A and B are shown apart, each in its own frame.
Chain A
Amino acid sequence: MIIPHPLLGPRDAQEFTYMGDAALIDRPDGMAEGAAEAFDTYLHARDNPAGLHRELWYHEAGDRSWLVVTRDTRTHEITQVELARDVARARGRSQ
């Protein structure tokens, strides 16, 4: 596979490490009310789409950016790649 890195262009997948669903960005607040239930969902509930899937890839042998890659699970076609940090901020994560 080739992953088009938003800063470095197309890169061989062997430079990357895969983690999983980009929903892992949405970590619940551990001190909030109902944290136990929220973490249960965060840790265990995953969509398994036949189609577009947003997932986390780490450019381990590259610039160490975490990326959110949108990949079609049926064809491996990659339609979008973003810096995970930008995605996290857009989803309201900060400090």
Chain B
Amino acid sequence: MTGRRLEHGGQIDRAQALRFRFDGRALTGHPGDTLASALLANGVRLVGRSFKYHRPRGILSAGPEEPNALVTLRSGARAEPNTRATVAELFDGLTATSQNRWPSLRFDALAINDLAAPLLGAGFYYKTFMWPAAFWERVYEPLIRRAAGLGRLSGAPDPDAYDKGFLHADLLVIGAGPAGLAAALAAGRAGARVVLADEDFRMGGRLNAETFALGDTTGADWAAAAVAELAGMAHVRLLPRTTVFGAFDHGIYGAVERVADHLPDPPPGTPRQILWRITTRRTILAAGATERPIAFADNDRPGVMLAGSLRAYANRWGVAPGKRVAVFTNNDDGLRTARDLRAHGVRVAAVIDARPDAPDPRIDGARHLPGAVVIGTSGRLGLTDVTVRTADVREFRIDCDALGVSGGWNPALHLTCHQRGRPVWDDRIAAFAPGPDLPPGMAVAGAAAGVPSTHGALHSGHAAAAEALDALGRTAPPADLPQAEDAPLALRPLWHVPGTRRAWLDLQNDVTVKDIAQAQHEGFGAVEHMKRYTTLGMATDQGKIANVPALGVMAELTGRSIAETGTTIFRPPYTPVSLGALGGRATGPTFKPTRLTPTHPWAEAQGAVFVEVGQWLRAQYFPRAGETHWRQSVDREVLAVRAGVGLCDVTTLGKIDIQGTDAARFVNRVYCNGFARLAVGRVRYGLMLREDGIVMDDGTTARLAEDHFVMTTTTANAGPVFRHLEFARQCLWPDLDVQLISTTDAWAQIAVAGPKSRTLLQRVIDPGHDISNAAFPFMACGAVTVCGGLRARLFRISFSGELAYELAVPARYGNALMERLMERGADLGATPYGTEALSVLRIEKGHAAGGELDGRTTAQNLRLGRMVSTKKDSIGAVAARRPGLNTEDTLELVGLRARRPDSRLAAGSHLFAPAARTEAANDLGWVSSAAFSPHLGAPIALAFLRGGAARQGEVLRAVNLLSGQDTEVEVTSPHFIDPDGERLRA
């Protein structure tokens, strides 16, 4: 037990205790705590194990940059691995578990890796897992997978809800520290719509972690007052607990608001997190800065922390992270830590200051060691002392259980890089600062811009807001900012203390100074190469702490400046975003919209089995009592259609209403076959090509009037065909008089198919409409009324090859019409049929559908080549005549019939001659659709076969290597049923 809660101070509610558990231990904290501050207050230093060497690790920082203190938060289905304890807000009942250790955190068996460290250096993976190749999948991959990763997923579905939303702002301010608050106040007072987002649950940034005054109050109180003023403005939106994780095109920012992460359980209905897409005209990035450590031997022991974080724990959370603390710094900010800790009554053992000319902070009881460095540490599971080498090269130990290290501050410029912006090295702050090529509309203020002091942050925030307001056409109010510290940055760069033992740079991925040297030595000297070879900066923290010190080390090794060495840039997301938040409301069955047919309630009542067809849910078949296999149902439905009458909801086919004086010319150009002279009251089959000559879609189009057509499309292509027609109408022939609108959902359309279909229809169509064969022949269409005056459209078209009709009524009546047809057709054997039977019927008839129109086939392939008219210009006609699509041995549609009725024939099979070897060179074509034909009592198929039209009667093999089927088939006409179409015209 080293850390403890101080007697006084901190922005915590000491009156209230929150119970929580870490690795099963019952502990308490207070509202206002993070998990990290509460752990430190309870004396917990050891919180995790490093990724590769399983070294004991403690809390390093107090913010989002934390590489070490990753825990699994919560348990069961809510368990969330790799959560940073430094940003997890404490709540009553929280449970956290350490990771990457077995059997326990204090004794971890894989710590043996650490002894093997000389073998596990940079590029270890690339050198070790190379040979023999036979080991890649069977030995190495399982080995790597077992060792990889830190926490483990629960494997259970996430029980929480997530949401998403859209915000629009004149000005987005990212970060609510002094610069962000000053900017938001200026813009809010000027009346601009402001969104102020901060990832912390308490706005104020460093002001909450410091003791210096702002005007006549404390920084924390000034921040609270500023937030209160902003909260009172209706046009200002405050988003605490919100991380802006990405800057995207055109002023769009991605942000995650953690609405209920700090609650034991989200209230019912409340989302746990909301993904906000923020569209803004201007942005001010005021994300502050991240402290960086100095690398020295064994600098990874629990107890070694960032100096500014140590100070934050004392000031903001009233926690002393140790009984006896030392500070190792190369700048004046480290002295501030020593002073603040002493003021809290913490013993400060020494101020080890790398600067030879360091000023003496005169801290009671502390040794002041200018020009000194830390060269080693001790303590197996936590720091017990540090070894120091002084300016006069004396070496000795200093007892301490916490060491604050400060190597300077790096601007948090991550979002400035999200559109390929490159940071530039700034010698004045010895850090990378935002470059000139920022995302459009973005300005950077405060420490994020490299402005060191609080005074500077306040004024640069206000100035950035004034500039943004000017661009927005508003006037900034006068700056009303408090007096604040304006200390200069007094820093002498120091990246690492040379030595023989390992000095850590990337604490999560276990990358040391030696690894950088080795990478350099082995030729991986470019920054991007070094990163990938050593994995530095590639852990979950993405190098927020490690990157810049590593560049400093690399520059030293190569004798170049850091500016010459270069830097990697940052990509979104700034911190990890949960997949739940990205998914939002779209989960499970509501992942995508579902479209239901008008007769869905009826089909459900019939016990139909449904199938997804794109977004549609369609009845696949209608099982009846006693049927135990889907084939029994489908065979029965097929035979019922051929013998009597069947009913099928075909609403899902796209319907496009085409009107205008040029409607006929237009339709004639988008279909390759002739439509100009289609008579009113008639329907025609149309074949639609893409401009490259490949078939796009097919369907029937009816002419309802001289200037009025209704086109049908396949279910899948309703959207694409409509888009294509609009392109033709607006871009190709802008002066044709044509109007288009989709009516797919407006009409319920029911196929009534089978020899008794006319008899059934005559029972529902109102008297006065003659639908006899003479008055309403095959391919006729017209308006009728049904069931006592309901407006309807009747089309005599057939997909099954039988006498058949499609009857359309306003969608709201579709369900009742289906019920009526079933009732009136009971004595005719009226049978509902689903998509399976529909498919069998059309394969028997040889009609092309999705399997045949797969985006690769031409009219020639479908043996419809003669439909492509040469007498007119239509889309795709010219390209369809390309020689390459018109060879002698082109693929042609044929029928296949299995020679043995009990064999199996699957779509996707390839065709081979009986004696040919089953290899690509002998491939003769493929099976596009297959079914068992109850009519023929054998498996049949449609297939594309080289020179197929001339091969009728040949025997081939249909081979499916995936299922091991090798089926003997006979080549037939694709029309297995009624090839002359007599039934259609009955």
> Which positions in A face B, CB cutoff 8 Å?
1-2, 17, 19, 24-25, 27-31, 35-36, 39, 42-43, 56, 58, 60, 64-66, 75-78, 83-85, 87-89, 93-95
Closest residue on chain B to residue A86 by CB atoms: B734
Set of chain A residues within 8 Å of B733, measured between Cβ atoms: 93-95
Find out whether the CB atom of A19 lies under 8 angstroms from the CB atom of B727: yes
- Identify which of B335-343, B646-654, B838-846, B878-886 touches chain A: B878-886
Apart from the given pairs A36-B882, A39-B879, A58-B723, 19 other A-B contacts in the complex at a CB distance below 8 Å: A1-B250, A19-B727, A25-B732, A30-B873, A30-B874, A31-B873, A36-B878, A36-B881, A42-B691, A43-B692, A56-B727, A56-B731, A85-B730, A85-B734, A88-B732, A89-B735, A93-B731, A95-B665, A95-B733
Q: Is the CB of A66 within 8 A of B730?
A: yes
A36 to B723, CA, bound (A): 25
Residue of B with least CB distance to A22 = B731
Contact (Cβ within 8 A) B735 A94? yes
Contact A17 B734 (CB under 8 A): no
Bound-state Cα–Cα, A11 to B535, Å: 41
- Give residues 894-939 of B contacting A (CB, 8 Å): none
- Give me 13 A-to-B residue pairs in the complex whose CB atoms sit less than 8 angstroms apart, sorted by A's number: A1-B249, A1-B250, A19-B727, A27-B691, A27-B732, A31-B872, A31-B873, A58-B727, A83-B730, A85-B730, A93-B731, A93-B734, A94-B735
- Rounded to whole angstroms, the CA-CA distance of A65 and B70 in the bound complex is 51
Docked-complex contact A39 and B735, CB < 8 angstroms: no
Are A2 and B251 interface neighbours, CB within 8 A?
A: yes
Q: Is the CB of B877 closer than 8 A to any CB of chain A?
A: yes
Contacts of A2 in B (CB 8 A): 249-252, 279
CA distance in complex: A88, B873 (Å) = 19
Count of B residues near A, CB < 8 Å?
30
Knowing A58-B723, A95-B662, the reply to whether A88 touches B879 (Cβ < 8 A) is: no
- Of B252, B719, B726, the residue contacting A66 (CB under 8 A) is B726
> What are the interface flags for B412-456 relative to A under an 8 Å C-beta threshold, 1 for contact and 0 otherwise?
000000010000000000000000000010000000000000000
Cα–Cα distance between A24 and B643 once the two chains are bound (Å) = 51
Q: Is the CB of A93 within 8 A of B723?
A: no
- Are A84's CB and B878's CB within 8 A? no
Q: Cβ of B877 and Cβ of A84 under 8 Å apart?
A: no
- The answer for the CA separation of A89 and B878 in the assembled complex, in Å, is 23
Neighbouring A residues of B665 by C-beta, 8 Å = 95
- In the bound complex, residues from chain B placing their C-beta under 8 Å from that of A27 are 691, 732
Interface positions of B from 261 to 293, Cβ below 8 Å from A: 279
Task: Give the CA-CA distance A61 to B750 in the complex, in Å.
Answer: 28
Taken together as a complex, chains A and B put the C-alpha atoms of A86 and B882 apart, in Å, by 32
Interface contact B731-A66, CB-CB below 8 Å:
yes
Bound complex: CA A93 to CA B250 (Å): 33
How near does chain B come to A46, taking the closest CB pair, in angstroms?
14
Contact of A84 among B662, B723, B731, B879 (CB under 8 A): B731
In the bound assembly, the distance between CA atoms of A31 and B881 in angstroms comes to: 13
Asked if A94 and B734 sit within 8 Å, CB to CB, the answer is yes
Query: Is B27's CB within 8 Å of the partner chain A?
Result: no
**Which residues of the other chain, A, contact B419 by a CB distance below 8 angstroms?**
75
**With contacts A35-B878, A94-B735, A95-B662 known, is A58 near B726, CB below 8 A?**
yes
Q: Is B736 an interface residue (CB 8 A)?
A: yes
- Chain A contacts for B692, CB-based, 8 A: 43
Complex alpha-carbon distance, A20 and B279, angstroms? 26
B707 to chain A, nearest CB (A): 16
Q: How far is the CB of B924 from chain A (nearest CB, A)?
A: 29
For B878, give its contact among A25, A30, A78 (CB under 8 Å): A30
Q: A31-B873, A36-B882 are in contact. Are A76 and B735 (CB under 8 A)?
A: no
